[in-house]
């Protein structure tokens, strides 16, 4: 589903969403569970399509993916959360921003667009909407572009001849009778390319989550995103649901990852049977 977005050369500072009803009221998760949403950036030829024609309007589209190793069709997005959307801030600190609409990146006759992909589990059918709020600044010499990485704790490297491929499962299952350890831990290693200083980090996971951590090559924790569970009935504080993941804002210039270094992403859940577990981390480098 295409969405409206600001035109022009801008720097996006935040991208937040909320699930609402026809009156604009936030919907509690126990009424409609927001499993996952994500926003995808792409450019496409600026032509009109006949809605009755049996053609793919995105046949020529070029998707602008994040820098993560799982971006080849499975996890291409820049932003995307789930039940924790209302409580998790996406604000990128100054002077950094996600650069959008640079004329040098858009060929003549093409235009830049955005798509939403939404996955929700619902009860009786009703008319709902995903309300999104984007904040931005005009792009100028004061802005520093961020590199948007997405990591997945299921990522496994496979070598096919001379080619290296990343096998990302996106979701995984925590089995029954998985030992006496109170936690189930999933890890994946990634070789970094074109990184820099860590400026922002958070995780997307599901109920049962404890936390997710990004470790540096020497094993030190660079960012830990911890869950908060709701304690009430109101939207944003639903009892038993993961309603927030904490965000990392390291001191500027304090954490640098050099090209070629290995980082590890770890997702940690309660050690109890669970299907559809996710271990995603969104990391920004400047």
DSSP helix/strand/coil, 32: strand
Q: Which two tokens stand for residue 252?
A: 């500027």
Sheet with strand 147-152: strands edge to edge:
147-152, 280-285, 196-204, 256-257
Residue 162 pairs in a beta bridge with none
Q: Which two tokens stand for residue 58?
A: 């995105």
Asked whether residue 180 carries a pLDDT value surpassing 90, the answer given is: no
Whether the model pTM is above 0.85: yes
pLDDT for the residue numbered 49:
58
Sheet with strand 129-138: strands edge to edge:
129-138, 10-20, 96-100, 144-145
Q: How do the domains of the chain map onto residue ranges?
A: 2-285
Give the whole-angstrom CA distance, residue 226 versus residue 72.
28
The answer to whether 245 and 202 are in contact (CB under 8 A) is yes
Mean pLDDT along residues 249-272: 94
Split at pLDDT 50, 70, 90, the class of 158 is confident
pLDDT for the residue numbered 176:
86
pLDDT for the residue numbered 126:
78
* Residues 40-79: tens digit of each pLDDT: 999 999 876 556 665 787 888 999 889 988 887 678 899 9
Split at pLDDT 50, 70, 90, the class of 163 is confident
pLDDT for the residue numbered 7:
86
**Average pLDDT score over the chain:** 90
Split at pLDDT 50, 70, 90, the class of 115 is very high
187's enclosing H/E stretch is strand 183-191
Split at pLDDT 50, 70, 90, the class of 232 is very high
pLDDT for the residue numbered 58:
82
Mean pLDDT along residues 156-175: 81
Residue 86 has phi, psi (to 5 degrees) of -65, -30
DSSP helix/strand/coil, 86: helix
């Amino acid at each position: 589903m295409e969405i409206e977005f600001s035109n022009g050369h801008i720097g996006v500072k935040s991208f937040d969403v909320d699930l609402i009803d026809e009156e604009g009221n936030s919907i509690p998760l126990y009424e409609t569970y927001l499993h996952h949403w994500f926003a995808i950036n792409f450019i496409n030829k600026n032509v009109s399509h006949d809605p009755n024609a049996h053609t793919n309007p995105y046949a020529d589209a070029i998707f602008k993916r994040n820098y993560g190793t799982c971006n080849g069709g499975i996890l291409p997005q820049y932003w995307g959360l789930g039940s924790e959307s209302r409580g998790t801030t996406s604000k990128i600190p100054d002077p950094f921003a996600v650069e959008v609409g640079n004329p040098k990146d858009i060929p003549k006759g093409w235009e830049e667009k955005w798509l939403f992909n939404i996955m929700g589990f619902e009860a009786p059918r009703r008319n709902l909407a995903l309300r999104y709020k984007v904040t931005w600044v005009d792009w100028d010499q004061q802005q520093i572009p961020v590199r948007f990485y997405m990591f997945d704790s299921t990522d496994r490297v496979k070598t096919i001849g001379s080619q290296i491929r990343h096998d990302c499962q996106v979701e995984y299952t925590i089995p029954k009778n998985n030992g006496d350890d109170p936690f189930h831990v999933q890890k994946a290693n990634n070789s970094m390319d074109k990184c820099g200083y860590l400026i922002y980090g958070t995780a997307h996971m599901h109920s049962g989550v404890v936390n997710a951590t990004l470790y540096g090559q020497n094993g030190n924790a660079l960012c830990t995103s911890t869950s908060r569970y709701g304690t009430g009935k109101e939207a944003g504080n639903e009892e038993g649901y993961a309603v927030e993941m904490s965000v990392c804002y390291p001191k500027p210039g304090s954490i640098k990852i050099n090209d070629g270094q290995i980082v590890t992403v770890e997702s940690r859940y309660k050690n109890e049977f669970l299907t559809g577990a996710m271990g995603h981390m969104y990391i920004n480098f400047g």
